[in-house]
Each structure stands twice: as C-alpha cells, then as structure tokens.
Chain A
Amino acid sequence: MNKKDLINAFGEIDGEAFDPDKEQKLPNVLTAESEDIVRPEIVENKKSKINKNPIFYGAMAVACIAIFAIGIPILMNNSQIPAETEITTDAFSEGNIITTPETITTETESQPAETTEITKTTEPEKTTEITEAEKTEQEDPNPSNDIFEVREFPDDKIVPAEWIPVYSFAEAAKNFDEIVSADVSNMDTADAIIALANKNVIFVDSFLSHFWDADTDHPYYSENYTNPYASENPYYSDKPLYPILLSSEYYTDIQEIYDLGSETYINDALNNEMNGFYYDRGKLRKPFMKENGISYVDFWVLPIWNFTPFRCRTYIEIVSETENKCSFIWHRPDWEMLNEPEEGYEFFYYSCDGEAVYENGSWKLSKVYVEGYSLL
C-alpha cells in the first residue's frame, strides 16, 4: 500500500457518500443522512471572544461550581444518567475527585429539528471530599462512556480537579519552577523519572500546545517576531513559520529545554496570549506516590490550549533498571477536543516508552520523543 492508495480509498468513501444535489454540504461519510454541520457564525464569534477573555474563566469557574453544587445531587438521583465517581487516595488525598462522564443528547443550532448524540466529559468543577461509603454508593457498575470502558490500564482514570485561573504567564511560571527546579539527584529512580517527566511535559507541551492554538493575528506571526522554534510553515509561505506539525525531536538535556522555554516565554506578547489558563496549585506539592511497585505521578497537564480545564493522572512504570540506565513506560490518558471547546474533550488511553540514564550523579531523560502532542 502506498499514499496514493490511501488517497484513493478516501476518495472511494467520499464518492460513495457524495450527493451532487447537496454539493454545498460537507461530506458526511458515515452517517445515514447528510446534514450540514457548518456551525453558525454565532458559535465562532462566541468562541473567539471567550478564548481571549480571561474574565470568562472566572465566570466559568463560578458557574461550574454552581452547576456542580446544584447538578451533582440531581445527577446522582437520576438513574438515566450514569455517573462514575473516582476517589483518589493516599498522596492525592488533598483533593478527591469526581468525574462524571455522561452521554447527552443535544440539538444542534444549525439543525434544530435533528438531534445529535455526543459524548461529553464534564469540565472540572469542584474538589470534593468523599467517603468510602459514598464512593460505593455512587459508583456505577456499568458506565456508559466508551472512553472509560475501553481503557486497559486498571486504574487509569481522568482526574479533573479544582482549577485556579492564572492571569499571567509569570505567575504560572513561578509555580512551574517548583517542578522545574526539583533536584532529582537525591531521588530514587522512579521518583526521579517522574520528576523529569514532569519537567519535560511542562516545557514541551507548552511549546507545542501554544503553537497549535496559534492565532494568526498574534504578534508572533509578524515578521518582526523571532522564535527559536521557527521553521517552515508549509501552508503560508509568506508568513513566519512555526512547528505546528512536529514529527519527532530528541532531547538529551532537560536543562536545555528549560533554557529554551524560559527564553521563549520572556515575551510580553506571549504573556498576554497566555492569560487565563488553569492549573491546580495545591496538587503540585504531592506529585507522586508508589503503589504495588508502580510509581504514580499526579501532575496536571499544562493547559496551554485555551480550553483544557482538566488534568489527568499518569503512571510511570519502570520496565528495567540498571545502575546507569532505566527504561520505563509512561501510561497516560490522552485527550482530544471535541468539535467545540464547549463540548469538552474525548479521553483515551495512551502510553509511551522512555529511557533515562544516570550521569554525573543524577538521572536524565535520554529519550524524549516529541511527536506533536505526545510528549515522550
């Protein structure tokens, strides 16, 4: 098979569903009825406003808390909507978490007569203390959300939490430093890997996510803006260019990434762009734990995308370890934004391999694969 075959296969599917009488509509290849899914302008306008308005985040947080307070008891009593409750334990006991995946039916704005079923994961709303008894009561033995059903890792759950809006990159960076400046030389192997992974995810994810959300009106698209990651943009030969589609990169020194990160972010324009993202300050104090030979890291994923108000628990699994080399698997959920930020995110299981070497009295990541959104 080659690329041409693949294009022809896409073409075959397109052609099978193509209706010349509805040519102005989008390909709707795998559903029974063709429908125009172009969203009305009002959605786009709303989206662009809220993406740039930090006040929105505050309002959203308040609204979420209110909805949470009012809605959860209702949900719990409503047998039509399955709720899955997760309780964090041990080192994560600072914030016990509720995740309520639900399948909802909504009417699209463009087609009020038709309904579209979407899977939606609620945004993090509130950190709540839950007792074991409540846990038993609230757990749904048959969660309807496919994402939760297909996950293979036994304890791989999405852990949204209470998010604190941050209104400047500087403020956030100060907290990032807690992770970044962690001295791994005194840590045992597992903890060192976790700490290194955290450092890595902060910077690499920051770069990539930020550029993905690039606004073409932003100053960094101007010719005067320079960026160490600038490269050729295949889509706009006449504009400055950024690595939106990185295939893979290789880092051997986490400090190098940090330095580049610091250099990149000291920029007023970026500070402004970064307004309004979220993170959980309290969780930073206890980022890891061990259980049954597996080290768990509870880090929040840096939500540089304007809307990623969630975090996840990830797992570092040490596969093999010698005096100077450590191989590990990083189990983590990955996520994908649904059609609109308001619809939430789709989560799925993801894992990647990594390697660390022991040099000069400290562990360092020796293999860090950056494949777009995949961090190791």
Chain B
Amino acid sequence: MKDSEIIDYFFQRNEMGLRAAAERYSNYCSKIAYNILGSREDAEECVNSVFLASWDSIPPYRPENLAAYLGKLTRSSAIDIQRKQNALKRGAGQLALVLEELEDCVSDGREISEEAEFKELVDTLKEFLKTLPQIQQSICILRYSRLEPVAEIAQRLNLKESYVLTTLFRARKKLKAYLMKRGFEV
C-alpha cells in the first residue's frame, strides 16, 4: 500500500491505514526508538504511542512524507520517554552521545519554531550533505537521524569504527562552518 493510500485511510478513519502504516514503518520507527532508549520494551511502547499519535493527528494534518513524519514523532516520543525516565546518561541509549557530538555543530540555542526556518535548515543540510561522498552521507544519516551506534554503522558498512568516528567528526566540523556561512546561529 502506498503512503498516499495509507493517509487516505487515516482520513477515512479506516484502521486498515493504521495497520498498513505499522506494517511498513514499525521497523524503521522501532530502530530509532531503540537507539534512543536502549531498551526494546521501551522502544516498543514508544512506537505504539507513535502510531496512536499519528492516528490522532492525521487528520487534520496531512504529512507530505509519512516516513519523515513518523520518524519525527518517534524521536520526539522517545526523547520524552527518556526524559521522564531520567535516563539521560551514558549507556542508556545513543541520544546522550549524539547530543554530545552535536555540540561540535550547534549550541543549545532557541528551538526553531517557524516551519519556514526549519525548512531552510533542512534545505541547507541537504546542500551540505551533497558535498560529502555518498558513504559519508549515509554515515551521517545513520548516526544523526537514526541514532545508530558507531559500531553498528561500521559493521553495516564494513568500515573501521575509527573511520566512522573520523568521518562524523569531520562532518560536524564542516557542518558548523557551513551553517555559519549561511547565517545560521550556531
């Protein structure tokens, strides 16, 4: 079933849409949740809440891209769960590590509230990623979107962990410069 059909079912309040969404995206969302929470049980709970939240929010919201929307909901939900559990510590999941790494790029400034501003960030990030070799793009996405552990990325790509670490390190440095050059407050 295509995403557009799934969303149509959501709008029709037909639960087939929910089942189809879960079938297509539960692995994707579970992986993100697990990487943040570090617990399969918590991840499962998180993903369930994500699909419920999507059911509640669609309609009226019609996401342009279902995967991106569900991924975003998953990250938000997992981060909330982790905050509630006060589990923001090393070993609990990848989020703390990723946040620490991203300090190389941005400080804790105000959160972007304007959709246009966020879109500009996304577009800039896309431009930046285009400057990287494809494998490095993948490494960045796996790490900073899906929050996969470095060791897992290295294994998946048949690379040394040190190469993945170095790539991420350099990418962050470059990204910071790239964002600054384009007027972002970092």
* Contacts from A to B (Cβ < 8 Å): 1-16, 18, 20, 23, 26-31, 37-41, 43-44, 116, 118, 211-216, 234-235, 237, 244-245, 247, 336-339, 346, 371-374
- Does residue B87 face the partner (Cβ distance < 8 Å to A)? no
- Of B39-47, B53-61, B121-129, the one contacting chain A is B121-129
- Does residue B88 face the partner (Cβ distance < 8 Å to A)? no
- Does residue B90 face the partner (Cβ distance < 8 Å to A)? yes
Contacting residues, chain B, for A12 (C-beta < 8 A): 65, 68, 72, 118, 122
Cα-based distance from A11 to B79 in the complex (angstroms):
14
A9 lies within 8 A of B125 (CB):
yes
A237 lies within 8 A of B184 (CB):
no
- Looking at the complex, which one of B24, B90, B125 makes contact with A10 (CB distance below 8 Å)? B125
Per-position 1/0 for B157-174, Cβ under 8 A of A: 110111101100110010
Would you list 27 pairs from A and B whose C-beta atoms are within 8 A, ordered by A residue? A2-B109, A2-B111, A3-B99, A3-B103, A6-B121, A7-B144, A10-B141, A13-B126, A14-B145, A15-B67, A15-B71, A26-B156, A27-B138, A28-B137, A30-B129, A38-B157, A38-B158, A39-B157, A43-B158, A44-B158, A214-B162, A234-B90, A234-B100, A244-B162, A245-B169, A372-B170, A372-B173
Closest to B121 in A: A9
B134 lies within 8 A of A31 (CB):
yes
- Looking at the complex, which one of B118, B141, B166 makes contact with A373 (CB distance below 8 Å)? B166
Cα-based distance from A231 to B151 in the complex (angstroms):
19
- Does residue B102 face the partner (Cβ distance < 8 Å to A)? yes
Size of the B side of the interface (Cβ < 8 Å), in residues, is 70
Instruction: Decide yes or no: A5 and B118 within 8 Å by CB, A10-B125, A14-B145, A30-B137 being known contacts.
Output: yes
Cα-based distance from A30 to B102 in the complex (angstroms):
21
Whole-angstrom distance from the CB of B39 to the nearest CB of chain A?
17
- Does residue B7 face the partner (Cβ distance < 8 Å to A)? no
- Does residue B106 face the partner (Cβ distance < 8 Å to A)? yes
Cα-based distance from A175 to B124 in the complex (angstroms):
46
Whole-angstrom distance from the CB of A207 to the nearest CB of chain B?
14
Whole-angstrom distance from the CB of B22 to the nearest CB of chain A?
11
Whole-angstrom distance from the CB of B83 to the nearest CB of chain A?
12
Instruction: Decide yes or no: A2 and B106 within 8 Å by CB, A30-B129, A30-B130, A244-B162 being known contacts.
Output: yes
B144 lies within 8 A of A212 (CB):
no
